[in-house]
Each structure stands twice: as structure tokens, then as C-alpha cells.
A and B are shown apart, each in its own frame.
Chain A
Amino acid sequence: MSGLLDRHRWAWPEAMFWCGWIAVFFLFPDRLSLSTQILIWSMFALSLDLVMGFCGILSLGQAFFFGVGAYATAWTALLGWHEPISAALVGAAVAALAALPLGLLVLGLSGLRQIMATLAIGALGLEAANRAAGVTGGDDGLQGFGFAPLLGHFRWSIFGQTSFFYALTGFALVFLLLRHLLAAPFGITLQGIRDNATRMRMLGVRVGRYRLLAWTIGAAIAGLAGALGAQTTRFVGLDSMSLDASIAVLVMLVVGGTGRLYGGPIGAAVYMIVHDQAANWNPYHWMAAIGVLLILVVRLGRGGLLGLMEQAWARF
């Protein structure tokens, strides 16, 4: 279990995690749509983990970048560019561009003021998207766009195989990138900033630049997740940048464990499976099951489910 928490070395529990995703394809062929959504939200949770878990920036507006990436990718197709990978990268780039000026606004703040500023970004962004119905489709959302076969060969079938492997590959690449980044001097510095930003400044580090870079990379990853969501569902609605989405990804991260890379993906999987099962049981009150899960995890120990697994492993 300690291998899941080690920044520098790979360990066997990680192989289990990745093999598990391959196994999902064969064991649950009729649940590929849900699995694809879990992968996309796992990527989204990684973006928040970078910003909040590793850099200490408190954000309640991360879904804004998810939505921006989704709308930008949808519009890429609507404007006639149908190559899916480059269209997804356009979504990530637009989200990163949107993050830069907002980062200058948010990152000078701390604590509650920072949370409120990110909340305001999310709320204003959602309202702007609602008003700009000509661009976003308003309440009806954007639809009627599609993408060319992946790599010119794999068609987007209704069974979801292409979407699943597309999302899995995207998630794995983002994960590898973040893992590499966080074990490199850049990532170590971010974690030092999270521990004690003032002490970092007193060691000569330009904390603001590091935070802005982490914030922008986090937004790009959130935008990429949104882009993949748009491509695999062929729909973008206002809910993609809603406060509910920001809160959901935060809950996923807290349930899985912040600042641990695997915490977000594990939290996303648990959240969405509980959501799926609870919604079957009661489509109106599924949030109660999530609430109970969240309370249990935060009451039982620090570090979310990964922290609990770590404690159990230490006793074993």
C-alpha cells in the first residue's frame, strides 16, 4: 500500500489498479458507458488534486474549466474540425487560457477568501454560459456534433468500446504526466509551498509563479476531461460547469484522499458506483447515500479511503 503513496517508485498495488481497468472492459462489457464516465471524472479529480491536494489552492470552481473545455471542443467540431485528439487538446488549451487571468485574481488570496473567489468564478461562469445561449445552447445544451474515427480507424460505436479506451488512454497519459511532474523538482516545490508557503519564499522560491503554473496545468487537465466528456457523450450541457459538478469532484477527492494522486480516481469510482446503485434504488434521494459515505470516510480517519487502506495495511 505504501507504494501507492510513494512519489518516486512504482509498486505492485499500482499494477493492480491499472490491470483492474483492463479487466473492467472484459468483465463488464455492458457497463462501458459508466466506466468511461468514471475515467473522465477521475481525470477531472486529478486536476483538482494537483491544484488543491498538492499545491494547497482551495477551489470550489474547478468545474468552470471542465465546462470551458467541453464547450470549446464541441465548437471545434461544430466549426468543421472533427479530428478528436486535436479537438480535445483545443479544449484543454482554451481552459488553460481562461485560467491564466483568473489565477492572477484568485492566487493572491488565501483561506476563506480564496474559496469564495473560486466559488464566484464558478457561479459567474455558469451564469455567463446560461446567458450566452447562442454559444452554449443555454438549457438545451450543445448537441449535433460528432468526431471522425479515432486515429482514422476506430469508430465511435454505441457499445462504447472506442470511448472507453480513448478515455482510459487519456486518463493514463495525464496520470503519468502528473506522476512525473510531482516527483520532479517542480512537484516537490509545489508540495513545499502547500506545507509552508512563507518558508518557501524565505528560501528564495517565487511562490506566485509556481502556483499560477499549477493552477493553469490543473485547468488544462480539467478542460481535457471536459473535452473527453463532450466527445464521448456528444453533448455538453450547463451542468458540466455547475457548482454541483465542482462540489461532486471535491467530494470524490475527499472520499479518495487528497494529495495522493490515486485518491481522486478511487474516489471518483466509488462516488459514481454508489451514485449509480443508489439512483437505481431511489432516483431522487441518491445524494443521501453519498452523504453517508462522505461522513463515514471523514469520521473514520484522515486521508480518505486511501488513508484508511494505508492504516489497515500498516496493522496487517
Chain B
Amino acid sequence: MLRIDSLSGGWGATTIIDGCSLHLAQGEICALLGRNGVGKTTLLELITGRARHRAGGIRMNGKNLVGTALHVRARAGLAHVPQQREVFPSLTVAENLDVAARPGSWTRRRLLDLFPSLAARLHARAAHLSGGEQQMLAIARALASNPCLLLMDEPSEGLAPVVVEQLVAAIRAMATDGLTILLVEQNFHVAIALSDRCLVMERGRIVHDGPSTALRRSPSDLADLLFQSNIIT
């Protein structure tokens, strides 16, 4: 579904991702873990096309994404939920969903069923939503484009525990639809609970790739993976 080969890139003259390779299968939820500054967000932004690509390949459903414009990647089925949410503040909730909408199974009605708190605020401006509601809206907006691959950057950051629970339930519901998700998450419990597979990044490369079930059974292994500096799978 997504295949990344020896990818290198970063921001401006700085190279942050250095020879990173990974692949995602259709319908898989993959958690991308790592300490702050190892390049998780930059990897997502290289896939979206915002960060500067230097070398390596990115293919989605067999289609080469390297060098293509942002809107071309989006139309190919790529959606991104950014860390800062980036909802359109002057538009209402309904308008935020409508500007992203493309034909597919994720209709506005289905999105509002998935996020009932948005249904109650459909005509409120996004600027007036709480942080949790904005996060729900950012996810719903990404789904409205009916993507085949969803990149999520720390969706639970800054949210109250009760909102995180709603979010986890929503992501589980999305997974049953066969959506492929690459999830960057600082809340390791959430990441491990949600994902089928777990990747750990260190200095711009993937240094661990394995099933999440093993880490669920043995959280100490996860701690070792994240906090040892010389991890080689």
C-alpha cells in the first residue's frame, strides 16, 4: 500500500530523515514511536510533500509520489491530520468538512455519527471549538476526503483523558473500514493499544519493526526500545 525506500530529507538544508525504509499493508494500523526530535513528524511531512525530499522512493498503491504536488498526493488518496490540527478557523464545522469532501463511503452523516460532538456544533466556526473538538474536526475533515492512507500526527496531544478515549474509539471504528493508518503518537499506551504493528525511530531511521501484540504483553520491552540509544533490530 505504502512503500518507502531509503528515504532521506528534511527542512531547508537540514537532513532529518536519513535512509528510512518501511512498508504498510492495506488496512494496517502502524504506530510510529520514538523520542522527541528523531524525525517522526518529518517522515510524515516527507510523505505529504511538505518537507524537502533529497533521496529515496515513496510509492502509494504503486504510484510514485516523489516530486508530485501536494494536491496530487491528496487526490491519490493521501490524507494527513497535522499535530496543530490546522482547521480553517473562519469556516464552520460543516464547511470544514465540505471543502475536503470527495465521493466515497465517508459521508458527512457517517462522520457525524462517528464524532457526535461535531454534530452538535455543525454551524459553529472552527475557531470557537475546544481543542478536543478541533482534533475531532481535523480527523473528520481528513476522512471526508475518503483517503486510502491516513497519516496522523499525535492526535491525542493536549487532550483530556475522556476526549482521548473518544478518539481511540473513533480510530478503532475507522480501522474496521479497512483504512490504512500511520500513527505518530507520544502516548505509547494509546499507540500500542490501537496499532497492529509498531515502528520505532531513532535518528531518522526505523530501528524496530514488529507486531504490537508483543509490546502489549511486555511494556518493559517497549521502554527498552524507546530509551536505549543503540537499538538494532
Contact = CB atoms under 8 A, between A and B. Distances in A.
- A and B associate in one complex: yes
Interface of A: 185, 188-189, 191-192, 194-196, 198-207, 259
Given A188-B99, A192-B99, A201 B71 contact: yes
Contacts of A203: 71, 74, 79, 99-100, 141, 145
B70 interface: yes
Given A203-B99, A206-B71, A191 B145 contact: no
Given A203-B74, A204-B75, A205-B71, A195 B145 contact: no
A202 B74 contact: yes
A195 B98 contact: no
A195 B70 contact: no
Interface residues of B, number: 24
A192 B95 CA distance: 9
Task: Tell which of A189, A192, A200 has the most Cβ of chain B within 10 Å.
Answer: A192
Contact of B88 (A191, A201, A202, A204): A191
A202 B74 CA distance: 6
B210 interface: no
A199 B73 CA distance: 12
A207 B90 CA distance: 17
Contacts of B70: 198, 201-202
Q: Which secondary structure dominates where chain A touches chain B?
A: helix
Nearest to B142: A203
A206 B99 CA distance: 12
Nearest to B74: A204
Nearest to B126: A195
B128 interface: no
A194 B71 CA distance: 16
Interface in B137-158: 141, 145
Interface string B37-69: 000000000001010000000000000000001
B175 interface: no
A259 B85 CA distance: 23
Nearest to A54: B90
Nearest to A203: B100
Interface string B76-92: 00011010001011110
Contacts of B208: none
A203 B91 CA distance: 15
B98 A185 contact: yes
Interface of B: 48, 50, 69-71, 73-75, 79-80, 82, 86, 88-91, 95-96, 98-100, 102, 141, 145
A189 B96 CA distance: 9
Contacts of A185: 98-99
Contacts of A192: 88, 91, 95-96, 99
Contact of A196 (B69, B88, B145): B88
A206 B69 CA distance: 10
A281 to B, nearest CB: 39
A188 B80 contact: no
B90 A205 contact: no
Contact of A189 (B79, B80, B99): B99
A206 B71 CA distance: 6
Contacts of B95: 188, 191-192
Contacts of A195: 88-91
A191 B126 CA distance: 13
B76 to A, nearest CB: 9
A192 B87 CA distance: 9
Contact of A204 (B50, B71, B86, B91): B71
B74 A201 contact: yes
B80 A202 contact: yes
Task: Tell which of A188, A194, A205, A206 has the most Cβ of chain B within 10 Å.
Answer: A188
A179 to B, nearest CB: 16
Contacts of B74: 201-204
Contacts of A191: 88, 90-91, 95
Contacts of B88: 191-192, 195-196, 199
Contacts of B48: 202
A240 B91 CA distance: 35
Contacts of B73: 202
Given A192-B91, A204-B71, A204-B75, A198 B50 contact: yes
B89 A188 contact: no
A196 B98 contact: no
A206 B98 CA distance: 15
By Cβ-Cβ distance, the 5 closest A-B pairs, closest first, are A204-B74, A201-B70, A195-B88, A203-B100, A204-B75
